[in-house]
Structure 1
Amino acid sequence: LKQLLAGQEQLLAGQERLLDQYTKTYERLDRIIDNIQNTRAQLHATPTQIRFGSRPMVTTNFVPRTAQNQLVDAIFSHNEPRTVLTGMRGSGKTQLAASIASKCEDERWPIVAWIHAASRKDIIGDLYEFALRSGVNATKDTPPEIIVRRILDQLRSADAADNLFVFDNVENLDDLKHLIPEGKGVRVIITTTRHLDWDSLGWHPITVGVFERDESITLLCERTGDTHRDAADQIAEALGDLPVAITQAATTAHNERYTLTEYLSRLNNFPLAATIDKQEGEHYPQAISTALWLACKATIGSIKKKNSTQGKLSLHQMNTLSLLASPGVPITWLEDYNDTENAKKSLSALLNSSVCQISADGKKVLIHQLQGRVFRENHLSTKTELNTAVSTAIHVLESISTHTEDILDRERQETQNLIEQLSIIASQEYSLPLFADPTIATILARTLQNAWRLGMHQITLTLINPLTKASDILGVDHPDILASRNSLADAYLLEGHIEKAVKLVQQNLKYSRKLLGDTHPATLASLNTLANASRDSGNIEDAASLFEKILADRIRILGPDHPDILTSRNNLAGTLQEVGKLEEAIILYKQNLEDSKRILGPSHPGTLTFRNNLAGAYQEVGRFEEAIILLEQNLKDRTRILGPDHPDTL
């Protein structure tokens, strides 16, 4: 009894020491959490001025319009919260909106955002990126729709400030439902070809029409230096005074040194494969298609005459612009083609001719919708030319997907640009021929892998639509389609959508087993995702059995030094740890750490993760000294690699 009592006293004393240690540990954790929150606050601090989106540059020779004065009054004098610019394509709606955005930037408005609004998915995507730029804290498991709601709530509750949002090219007003920014001082402009009863819908409408005849004549005469007003009048009549056509006609005549009479003759006698297809609310004279096609043909011909290499590259650039995303293509993509010097010169010539234009931030090149349509309907009218254009655009996407940058932020930006392009072209009818090229499946799979490697799993879910388009054309059993679908299933798991992940991976397994067999790496990857889903849904024993089988198969098929082995072994160890088989888990964690140092290198993020996992297992079984050694090493390495203030270091 005395021995038991003495032992009890020792236990109580030990308990007090343990409680004291717990208190100190919690104090340290509190300090670390404070540091993390402070660091995040610094990382996510809202910029004082936000300039967002790929708005087109206001053209140098922009012609002031009657509608422009109405728009200036609506935005700056009357503070209209919602203004809509309506008119046919080519009437200058986007340029008018861009001129207002430019004026707001000059007056240093806190927010000037340009949103691509061709579809609801595009709108959510841009608003999500805007929210991140604005400092909204987005954890990896927060859906984009929630982040968008947060930034809209933030705007509603913010102090009064002059902020502008432009939603360009709205096709369907329903796409804007619950996505229109509101708040004190917030102004929203949308551009659209739709003719609705805008007043009753709560919008201030401004109609953007064609040029007045005198405006057309003056522009043609001034830009060409030709005073033949009768010829200018006939050109304007033929082109229906449409601003984009009049502007291109003047530029082409000036660059080709035509008199207005000579240009009129070219306009009337130029053979054309097709006119612009009619769409809702549009009526275009046939000569408009001729004028816009003349501009393309004359510009490319002029470049080719001076330098055949640059002429060829300018055609490549037009092919790419006409098939990729309408909100613009990164300028660096168009300046590559393995001949940067000549590509830059050919692109400059295209920009100088107004066939295309650069975005206000200097990062993207855009082509007017009508100009792109005319180019496709005339130059890409034959199967041979279309196939050439598709190959050119695919080559651009492929070169970006294979390129890795030395600077992590730049690589993340390129991956994001690629995801944006793939997502948008899947919703553009004229871009669908790209999805008939098998290389697009490889690009999708590679892009998903890169995004995962860079920790960008959430944004990968925007690739569901392009993946569906590719699988519809290339077949659901295409190897790269299977790999991409499996990556998306993994993304669903991380987002907590277990049912969606399981459904996707079960479809994958059906085709993968049939096409490739039970032990093919793609089949094993799908099984690995299924095992993760089992673990996440609480079926730990099933998950452990599946992980064990996958590990054995991968070692046999891929060899002991393949990186996938490290992932499988880590998954199995983690599952064994969850069911309490700690000693077995520790053996696997130790082997993984040694192999990772040898295969990936001692400073690789995977190696640090595996070391951290082993330390956690040691800590759980009470082997604190061994855990401390590993954690101290991880802290030292992360401080060296990531810096002392990085959240992972803290």
Structure 2
Amino acid sequence: MRLLCFDHSKRLVSTDFSGKSIPPYAILSHRWGDSEVLFEDIRSDTCKEKEGYRKIEFCAEQAAQDQLQYFWIDTCCIDKWNRRERSKAINSMFRWYKNATKCYIFLPDVSISTATELAQRSSWEAPFRTSKWFTRGWTLQELIAPVSVEFFSSEGRRIGDKRSLEQLVHEITSIPVEALRNCPLDRFTISERMEWAENRETTEEEDKIYCLLGLLDIFMPASYGEGKEKAWTRLQLEVEAANGAPCIIPFSRNNYFVGRELQLAELETKLFGGKQTTIMAITGPGGTGKSQLALELVYQTRQKNKKCSIFWIDASDIDTLYQSYASIAQKLDVRGWDDEKADMKQLVKLHLSSKGTRQWLLIFDNTDGMNLGSSGLSTAQAASLVDYLPQSELCSIVFTTTNSDTAKRLASKNIVELGEMAPDTAKRMLENYLNTSVSRGEQQEAKLLLQELLYLPLAIVQAAAYINTRNITLQDYRSQLLKHKEEVLKHRSELSERKLQEYDTKGPVTTTLLISMDQIRSSDSLAADYLFLAACVDRKDIPLDLLEASSPREREDAIKVLNSYALVTRRPADSALDLHQLVHRALRRWLQKQEMLDQWTLQAIARLLKVFPDHNHGSRSKWRRLLPHAKYALSHSFPEQEGADRMALVWKSAMTLLSDGRYNESEELFVQVIETFKRVLGDEHPDTLTSMANLASTYWNQGRWKEAEELEVQVIETFKRVLGDEHPDTLTSMANLASTYRNQGRWKEAEELFVQVMEMRKRVLRDEHPDTLTSMANLASTYWNQGRWKEAEELEVQVMDTFKRVLGGEHPDTLTSMANLASTYRNQGRWKEAEELEVQHPDTLTSMANLASTYENQGRWKEAEELFVQVMETFKRVLGDEHPDTLTSMANLAHTWKSQGRSEEAISLTEKCFELQKQIVSPHHPNTET
């Protein structure tokens, strides 16, 4: 949980209290406007320019009056780009409001300008009664959960609290006075609590149900698109199962599912069939209904085996996989589920592997989503995934994948393959999806239509969606389909064989898409534009921020048009949408045929550039979600199309990849940048030289010292000639070369350069400038590596004291300098002094790792291990499994285990670390050669 406060310099600060004791705090309840301050804005000076900043100031001032330092506001305390965090926040919201010391309700549509007006109830009661705050679904829990609730006008005047206004609030909301007084909610029936939300509005119809989950004390994943009635049905199932087998099934049952009886029987026969975990896979081409078969298996199993727990796991990417495991841990109340630093996958694995009488069924859906390439899940990835599978004869696991190699790696020969649907099954499916029944006279028409659609489920769904949306007959639709087919055949006769393959438009999904697209282009140009833009980025998790519109409502209406034609899948909880891979592919082919693909790719790049953040750590969640789209758009454009937008996006992507430790990928982009800058700006332009320095940094981080050195020398000489010896860029390039010397053990050369840099910076920037202090720290590091502890210590004390005085004791640079000094003490065997420094700031990962090392050197193995594990899990969560800092922490833990004689565990972790290291750096890097 993050909390806000203003520091002594009146700067808005966000503090993460994950894993720590949460101090008393105030919480704001409000309705979102169009200009809210978001999490990513907190570090920006522009946040004060947003209209929502007024609410932040109001909340801070009111909290201060109530003797509260910290406060919480949903708009800027939740990183909306971090799906793990967002999911956990949604499920924790009721508890956060309940635990707040004070809850302030801000009513912008209730105005009380003077104290006299406040005293005259008649002047504000009418607008209070009609305030839109009382009409929203999600504000319901914000009224009921907290004990102390106070209402404020748009001017920040206190109107009253929940107790003093309880009769008025009761009349407005129909919520019983007892509930407003925070009596236990289980005194009211489910139906009674449902009635409290009956007349409230939500943007999504399903939210009418989801906004009640906290009030009902029920955990149920959101599944937007299922509709209110199906959400209500799922809620009832959760209520019924409250004392039975816990399940997480994020989708309602597909009432339109038909056929696949043989495949269902095969899957059911093999469930729980062995003396160990039963693993199966469902495979088949895209659009054949693999996930729908798995979903039907889930509901049939639940009907027949009430004691079986079922968990649906979205394996489409690392984030959603983790999120699914975290949801299971919370649902099962596994010890440690609410610990931010815990490995949720390991917690769930151990819990489900423990001895018991309950059976478990796990569905890993969309396993292809974790692919690194087009050849399916790699052996290393498959092994990593298998590492987190429960081992129990009571457990069955089903994977869905389009790739047969992936299926074989995961499930050996236990594979169910889906092929073409039988004609009678396809006919039943079409009838199920149509809003109106197929008459006797239309039976032949339906048969002919299905033949044209090749009985492919996805094509049938799209055809039915068009027929329903346009309210036309089967004959009308087939006529359009045949007309389109004739046009394609006519066009095909004009194309060469090579062009035929390039412009293949004969697939049924392509045909149904193009028919729908013709209608959309004529009736809703914005929706069509969204479709074309989506075709030029990665097809999954397309953030709504990429889709420009004059208002959120206009954007949402356009997306709903696409959804009505079954062309996109909306993901409101993630503020994103997905395209099916067949739709994505067909769209790109059509754009290419119309000679519009390059144009739309450039538009996608321009739009990405507008929302792509810089590479600082605070923006990590945002650029990690945007990177797949940037890489896709850039890889499908040509360097010769080198507009300023394209090069700017290449640069930003390269810098974020460098920050994320993905050095090989970063290197490829920096090479592109350098080649373009040389051609456009010249060899000696500062931007060209800076990009060369960045490329050298990728070499440096891969242990490719010689290549790094050659580039750095070239950069230094050019900077000296163009900018002069004392220019900051020249000095930075000299410091980079010195670091390269230091990492090769060339201490004398490194020392000489570091001394030069330090002296010049002292003369040009003065003694207390951060860059001067950094150069002093670098020189100290060189002394440290030579065992010259006294000289290192003298510099480090000077750096630390200056940082404390200039930047404050909590600044990251101050903490780093303290860690460096502690390391010097540690290497002299001065354990007590090292420990005193390290325990001052145990929450920073560097300090934790150093303190763990100190414990290790004192033989305090248990304390060292606990800290190393904590550091490793935090790095995994924040930076990912493959980040270099994560791998270093894994190596440290392995060393601790080895020192305790736990050789097998140490060797296993070291081997895993070695395999991951090879994936992200050169095979010749020192860390991969040891």
Taking structure 1 as the reference length, what is the TM-score of the superposition?
0.65
2:375 equivalent to 1:172: yes
Question: For 1:293-304, what aligned pairs fall within 5 Å after superposition?
Answer: 293-302=514-523, 304=524
CA distance in 1, matches of 2:728, 2:254: 56
2:530 to 282, 293, 317: 317
Secondary structure class of the residue paired with 1:168: helix
Distance (Å, rounded) in 1 between the aligned partners of 2:295 and 2:714: 49
Counterpart Cα distance in 2 of 1:614 and 1:321: 51
1:203 aligned partner: 413
Residues 618, 575 of structure 1: alpha-carbon distance in 2 compared, 3 angstrom cutoff: same
Residue deviations 1:238-267 (CA, integer Å, cap 9, x gap): 121111111111111211222222211221
Question: Relative to 1, partners in 2 of residues 1:576 and 1:432: Cα closer, same or farther, differing over 3 Å?
Answer: same
Match of 1:418, SS? helix
Aligned ranges for residues 326-405 of structure 1 at < 5 Å? 326=539, 328-334=540-546, 339-358=551-570, 362=574, 364-396=576-608, 398-402=610-614
Q: Distance in 1 between matches of 2:612 and 2:379?
A: 32
1:467 alignment partner AA: L
Choose from 448, 451, 468 the match for 1:237.
451
Contact 2:312 2:324 in 1 (8 A): no
- Contact 1:58/1:95, CA 8 A, preserved across alignment: no
Aligned to 1:17: none
For 1:29-428, what aligned pairs fall within 5 Å after superposition? 63-66=257-260, 69-70=264-265, 72-73=267-268, 76=271, 78=273, 81-97=278-294, 108-109=309-310, 112-115=313-316, 158-159=353-354, 162-166=361-365, 167-168=367-368, 171-172=374-375, 175-176=378-379, 179-180=382-383, 181=386, 183-184=391-392, 185=395, 187-192=397-402, 194=404, 202-222=412-432, 223-225=434-436, 227=439, 228-270=442-484, 271=487, 285-302=506-523, 304=524, 311-312=525-526, 314-326=527-539, 328-334=540-546, 339-358=551-570, 362=574, 364-396=576-608, 398-402=610-614, 411-421=619-629
Distance 2:799 2:315 in 1: 52
TM-fit CA distance, 1:402? 4.1
CA-to-aligned-CA distance 1:19-66 (integer Å, 9 cap, x gap): xxxxxxxxxxxxxxxxxxx99xxxxxxx9x999xx9996896653331
2:535 corresponds to which letter in structure 1?
S
Give the secondary-structure state (helix, strand or coil) at the position aligned to 1:346.
helix
Measured in 2, the distance between the counterparts of 1:75 and 1:483 equals 58
CA distance in 1, matches of 2:647, 2:768: 28
> Does the CA-based 8 Å contact 2:533-2:600 persist in structure 1?
no
Name the aligned partner's letter for residue 610 of structure 1.
Answer: S
User: What whole-Å deviation, never above 9, does each CA across 1:348-395 have from its counterpart, x for those lacking one?
Assistant: 332333211146975642211110111111134455553233322452
* Cα 1:534/1:350, change in 2 over 3 Å: same
1 CA distance for matches of 2:288 and 2:448?
19
Displacement of 1:322 after TM fit?
1.9
Contact preservation (8 Å) 1:224, 1:259? no
Compared CA separation, residues 646 and 65, structure 1 to 2 (3 A): farther
Q: 1:621 to 1:484 in 2, by over 3 A?
A: closer
Q: 1:594 aligns with which of 794, 797, 802?
A: 802
Map of 1:531 onto structure 2: 738
1:612–1:240 Cα change, 3 Å? closer
| Aligned partner of residue 63 in structure 1, secondary structure | coil
Q: 1:568 is paired with a residue of what secondary structure? A: helix
CA gap 1:320/1:594 in 2 versus in 1, 3 angstroms: farther
Query: How many angstroms apart in 1 are the aligned matches of 2:396 and 2:764?
Result: 60
Q: What CA distance in whole angstroms lies between the structure 2 residues aligned with 1:196 and 1:588?
A: 53
Aligned equivalents of 2:268 and 2:520: distance in 1? Answer: 38
Equivalent-residue separation in structure 2 for 1:237 and 1:558 (angstroms): 77
SS at match of 1:290: helix
Other-structure match for 2:72: none
Per-residue deviation, 1:487: 4.7
- Note the C-alpha offset of 1:194: 4.8
Measure, in 2, the Cα distance between the counterparts of 1:470 and 1:56.
43
Structure 2 residue matching 1:396: 3-state secondary structure: helix
Change (3 A) 1:413 1:563: same
Verify the 8 A CA contact 1:593 1:611 in the aligned structure 2: no
- Paired residues of 2:325 and 2:348 also in contact (CA < 8 A): no
2:46 alignment partner in structure 1: none
> Which stretch of structure 1 is more off in the superposition, 231-240 or 163-172?
163-172
What is the 5 A alignment of 1:542-553? 542-551=749-758
Contact 1:86 1:195 in 2 (8 A): no
Once the two structures are superposed, residues 57-84 of structure 1 have per-residue CA deviations (whole angstroms, 9 ceiling, x without a partner) of 6896653331651464266354784434
Cα contact 1:573–1:584 (8 A) shared by 2:
yes
Partner SS state of residue 324, structure 1: coil
Q: Deviations over 1:379-436 (max 9, x none)?
A: 344555532333224523551324989xx5xx4432432345556778xx75778996
What is the alpha-carbon distance in structure 2 between the residues aligned to residue 57 and residue 484 of structure 1? 46
1:297 Cα offset (Å): 3.8
The letter for the 2-side match of 1:244 is L
Judging changes above 3 Å, is the alpha-carbon distance between structure 1 residues 217 and 412 closer, same or farther for their aligned structure 2 residues?
A: same
In structure 2, relative to structure 1, the CA distance for the partners of 1:537 and 1:333 (3 Å cut) is same
CA contact (8 A) 1:356 1:366 kept: yes
The structure-2 alpha-carbon separation of the partners of 1:567 and 1:440, relative to structure 1 and needing over 3 Å to count, comes to: farther
The 1:594–1:379 alpha-carbon spacing in structure 2 relative to 1, beyond 3 Å, is: same
- Structure 2 distance, partners of 1:545, 1:191, is 58
Aligned residues of 1:231 and 1:260 also touching (Cα < 8 A): yes
Change (3 A) 1:475 1:446: closer
**Could you tell me whether the CA contact under 8 Å between 1:573 and 1:589 is conserved in 2?**
no
d(CA) in 2 for partners of 1:104, 1:528: 64
Contact 1:81 1:186 (8 Å CA) reproduced: yes
CA distance in 1, matches of 2:571, 2:640: 25
Per the alignment, in what secondary structure is the counterpart of residue 271 of structure 2? Answer: helix
Kindly indicate whether structure 1 or structure 2 has the higher relative contact order, using CA contacts under 8 Å at least 6 residues apart.
1
Deviations 1:190-242 (A, max 9, x none): 52355999699932232212332233334444515253233222221212111
Is the 8 Å Cα contact of residues 256 and 298 (structure 1) preserved in structure 2? no
- Indicate the residue corresponding to 1:603 in structure 2: 810
Report the more deviating stretch, 557-566 or 608-617.
557-566
- Taking only the aligned residue pairs, the percentage that are identical comes to 18
Structure that is richer in helix per residue: 1
Alpha-carbon distance in 2 for matches of 1:104, 1:444: 49
Q: Aligned partners of 2:451 and 2:471: how far apart in 1?
A: 21
> Would the aligned equivalents of 2:542 and 2:576 in 1 still touch at CA under 8 Å?
yes
1:387–1:646 distance in 2 versus 1, CA, 3 Å: same
The CA distance in 1 between the partners of 2:220 and 2:500, in whole Å, is 38
2:136 corresponding residue in structure 1: none
Q: Matches of 2:771 and 2:550 in 1, distance apart?
A: 34
Q: Find the aligned partners of 1:534 and 1:332 in 2 and give their Cα distance.
A: 47
Residue identity matched to 2:604: T
CA distance in structure 1 between the partners assigned to 2:616 and 2:571 by the alignment: 25
SS of 1:83's equivalent in the other structure is strand
CA 1:200–1:508 in 2, change beyond 3 Å: closer, same or farther?
A: closer
Asked if the contact 2:671/2:695 (under 8 Å) is kept, the reply is no
Tell me the distance in 2 between the aligned counterparts of 1:105 and 1:556.
75
Shift of 1:444: 5.5
> Is 1:85–1:206's contact at 8 Å kept on the other side of the alignment?
yes
